[in-house]
Structure 1
């Protein structure tokens, strides 16, 4: 019996040792992590895809924005169905709603859209997507104001062999 009581006491030792640590008592404090002279730092991740890789997506947004200024319903082909229904919720979607959306823009916004360029894009937010912020668009004159069909950010994704505006 003497051996059994010793084994029972030994079995309780690990439990008693971990209880104070679990309650936050007697936990050792760790110094802040600092890089050492020989440590390799992680490579900086660029959020910009190479211009050649994003060119097709940027061209789709370019055509869409210039198409809004022209009132050309052909640009509706550049919209994913979910984005089209969110942006043009009335029956007929983009093809029927484009003229009304253009009419809600200020005249100077329509003029600005006629000269817009899309020089840069960012990778993401998801794998295989490209995002273009409104403030990254370039204008020959006064820029258009975002709002309505002019989103603050555009997300494009590849669907088959073409790019579509998805968000």
Structure 2
């Protein structure tokens, strides 16, 4: 009779040594390296995050292509800060693009915008330059390639702003 009691006691000690939890838990899911699926930041609904990131993606790819249609994705404040005057994107895009290195223009053709963060304002979304992903060598920040991009929801649209 003593032996079964010792066996039960040993089992109880083993269970408490393992934390005593009676249910299995899993670590939080994390993205695998090289996973290209866009991630939604905390605090931003995935559909808003995706829409904002898509605007920046199209803008950067449009800059690579020299497509002035990208100017529809920026606010007058962004145009003033980046191109020197309100409405300056249409007339200044070619000159600003020409100031980029050939390697930077080539890198922009491969850029993706996998993540970003909600804020700084309630209707804003920010993507840091470091958050951009490149297929090959990354572009260098500077000029059109800001250290960070802020997108603001204006009505039903997201626009790049300062």
TM-score by length of 1: 0.69
Mark the runs of 5 or more structure 2 residues left unpaired by the alignment.
1-40
Structure 1 residue 70 displacement after superposition: 0.4
Is 1:96 the counterpart of 2:71 in the alignment?
no
Instruction: Could you list the structure 1 runs, at least 4 aligned residues long, displaced by more than 4 angstroms after superposition.
Output: none
Q: Is 2:66 the counterpart of 1:71?
A: yes
1:154 paired residue number:
149
How far the C-alpha of 1:128 sits from its partner, in A, is: 1.4
CA–CA distance in 2 between the matches of 1:58 and 1:139? Answer: 15
1:131 is matched with which residue?
A: 126
User: C-alpha displacement at 1:86, in angstroms?
Assistant: 1.0
Structure 1 residues not aligned, in runs of 5+:
1-45
**Deviations 1:120-155 (CA, angstroms, capped at 9, x unpaired):** 010101111100000000000000000001100000
Aligned length: 122
Q: 2:55 aligns with which of 60, 66, 90?
A: 60
RMSD: 1.5
Cα distance, 1:90 vs. partner?
A: 5.2
1 CA distance for matches of 2:136 and 2:123? 33
User: Contact (CA 8 Å) 2:77, 2:86: kept in 1 or not?
Assistant: no
